[in-house]
Amino acid sequence: MTDRYRLSQLQWLESEAIHIIREVVAEFERPALLFSGGKDSVVMLHLATKAFWPGPVPFPVLHVDTGHNFPEVLAYRDATVERLGLRLEVASVQDYIDDGRLRERADGTRNPLQTQPLLDAISDHRFDAVFGGGRRDEEKARAKERVFSLRDEFGQWDPRNQRPELWSLYNGRHRPGEHVRVFPLSNWTELDVWQYIAHEKIELPSLYYAHEREVFERDGMLLAVGEHAQPREDETVRTRLVRYRTVGDMSCTGAVDSDALTVDDVIAEVAATRVTERGATRADDRMSEAAMEDRKKEGYF
Amino acid sequence: MSTLLRLATAGSVDDGKSTLVGRLLYDSKSVLADQFDAVERVSRDRGMAQADLALLTDGLRSEREQGITIDVAYRYFATADRSFILADCPGHVQYTRNTVTGASTADVVVLLVDVRKGLQEQTRRHLAVASLLRVPHVVVVVNKIDLVGYDEQTYEAVSRDVIESARALGLYDVATIPVSALEGDNVVERSDRTPWYDGPSLLAFLEQLSPVGQPHSEPLRLPVQLVIRPQSSAAPEFRDYRGYAGQIASGLVRVGDEITVLPSGRTSSVAAIDFAGESLREAFAPMSVTLRLADEIDITRGDMIVTSRSVPPVTQDVHGTIAWLADHELRPGTKVLLKHGTTTVQAMVRAIDGRLDLVTATLAPAETLGLNDIGHVTLRLAAPIAAEEYLHARSTGAFLLIDAQDGGTLAAGMVGDALLDTRAEILLATSPS
């Protein structure tokens, strides 16, 4: 037995993800891919371009815009959509707040507010399958998630009543009004994602690499000073060399101290880290032990 | 090159499975500080003296509340040369459903046995499921060895029982390891407290397991997922492109190979193997590729491209073994959907031929199959499929039964009488001549 007929773990994960993406296009009528400009959605879109070569990516991308996004990430999103000739649909949390359908939370974070615009966009566009970049290694409720995950007519996830998922035979059957969330990166870890980004030379928004930024510390997280996050009187602003491990709402996504300038530096850093990416950088997941589970049940990503 | 190994855990209630998984993750340094802090905090709140590693694996609120694991959870850890995907299958609630799910994709089943209790009925059932699903390797963790004073004789007796029971089910490659998940003995490091044991620790065992499958010696099977025909949406040189996209289920394909398309039986040869702009000379399972053929023949999703050297039979009558996963009972005459490879066809359950007793590996007559039952059925399909015995073709012998109304997954199916065939072979092999 030689290694000639053996896939590396990255090749294996890539092949599995492409199989999943192709299954969705073959079995669903109106799929869409959630694209935020974050590294997981960027990798997912890259896999879609490989799955259908030499044809185009045969579905639109959907972005739930909290109105608190990092400007460089929005610029990256628009450039990517332009380069690949994709259709971009935006569901805007700001619009919902402006016309009163949603109210700003006391803590200012908008991550939990994304669920309603997301579900409305899915039903308005009649999307029957929605690709998400969620990974099972991210969080313990996500560890229970299926690759093909059914959502009821209210967009809800019922973790206690999930379809068993056998072999690589994915069951995407659903009734009218229901839809399926599909997670092609289910089996990837944060390190796999970075190694794949290095291997495929995928370009990312610049804030994933070390840069100088004005930040202040809150609840053990480094928040960027900007219109969406202002330091209180007791919080001091410092210019530090930081990077982001996840990209989300500016008001609740923290940076980490880092001197990782290149993708190889990041891989070394991720391999040695002692804190999970969500633990390090997401205030919303620290609210309670079941914060993610509760948001997912309501229809969150 | 780092390779991947998929494992599934199985065990009965209270045999320490969550603790073992927690220990494996913690000692292999796959648990990060914030996750461990949370476990320590909760353990303290519950008045425990030390961190309860089992808490690392309970993902859902109701699981934490009830102190039980409800659903399969997936864990990830890695050593220098290998990445592991672990399907953590709960022991008691709907055990078949969960164990079958975990075992369907596993390269190795890690089965726990409490050394004080020895071989249980549940152990036999789990061994039978591993045999039924043709999981290539089984390792039995004989746990709680600390509670019998690290006694060699107690371990040896349990180990012998397990190996004997496994053989009767057709499992010859079964290893046993004495472990204390609680104390960490022989999980990641070899323990000084079992000097009489000269095998590897569990992690070392998993690291050295030979990877599964030998693509070059298996016949090519490629279920076609979709036809890629970009026409006017592609660059001019690809306007006439027509490629058949799919993940190779088994075997190896080279440019120039003669192929047959099923169920139609039409033949052609492989003109090119494409992968995202790369042109490959050969490809093998489980690669996702796109094939171009020398002839323009009618191929659609649901067809299977196979090597012309070994063409499986095409049939509308399937005899299979199914694990029934739904709450309501299955009765003869029920109409369902059957998903096989990339094709979904209507199917009628002609007959229930019996229910398998996993403990004795015998078939008993049955009128119906209920939740977690495993039985033999005869199905009539509305269209033919390339059905191969699961015993010989783990990837193309598998199917799902799906509820045509609500879309739910009803059963995991395997073409043929996998378990009884095995038993018959053993009886033949061991009977005095």
Tell me the CB-side half-sphere exposure of residue B45, using CA atoms within 13 A.
7
Q: What is the rounded average pLDDT for all residues in chain B?
A: 88
| Closest C-alpha to B276, from A223, A76, A54, A126 | A54
Answer whether 0.80 is exceeded by the pTM: yes
The rounded distance, in Å, linking the Cα atoms of B361 and B171 is 13
Across residues A47-71, what is the average pLDDT?
94
Q: Is the pLDDT of residue B33 over 80?
A: no
| Among A213-222, B110-119, B402-411, the least confident range | A213-222
Q: Is the dihedral of CA A219, A223, A229, A231 positive or negative?
A: positive
CA of A94 to nearest chain B CA: how many angstroms apart? 32
Shortest CB distance from A276 goes to which of B34, B72, B83? B34
CB-based contact, A128 to chain B, within 8 Å: no
Q: Is the pLDDT of residue B166 over 50?
A: yes
Cis peptide bond prior to B223, omega within 30° of 0:
no
| Among A106-115, B37-46, B226-235, the least confident range | B37-46
pLDDT for position A251: 78
pLDDT for position A273: 76
Percentage of the residues of chain B whose pLDDT score is greater than 70: 90
Across residues A151-180, what is the average pLDDT?
91
Cis peptide bond prior to A54, omega within 30° of 0:
yes
The owner of tokens 């997981």 is A40
pLDDT tens track for B80-122: 889 999 998 876 656 678 889 899 999 999 999 999 999 988 8
pLDDT for position B423: 47
- When pLDDT is cut at 50, 70 and 90, the band that residue B426 belongs to is very low
Q: Is the pLDDT of residue B425 over 50?
A: no
Residue contact A54–B339, C-beta within 8 A:
no
pLDDT for position B217: 82
Residue contact B395–A144, C-beta within 8 A:
no
pLDDT for position A238: 93
CB-based contact, B83 to chain A, within 8 Å: yes
Residue of B nearest to A47 (CA): B276
Across residues A235-256, what is the average pLDDT?
88
Across residues B340-345, what is the average pLDDT?
96
Across residues A253-281, what is the average pLDDT?
84
- When pLDDT is cut at 50, 70 and 90, the band that residue B349 belongs to is very high
Q: Quick one: CA torsion of A162, A167, A173, A174, rounded to 10 degrees?
A: 20
- When pLDDT is cut at 50, 70 and 90, the band that residue B65 belongs to is low
Task: Please name the residues between 316 and 375 in chain B that touch chain A, using a CB distance below 8 Å.
Answer: 325, 337, 339-340, 342
Across residues B271-279, what is the average pLDDT?
96
How many CB atoms lie under 10 A from the CB of residue B302?
20
Q: Is the pLDDT of residue A149 over 90?
A: yes
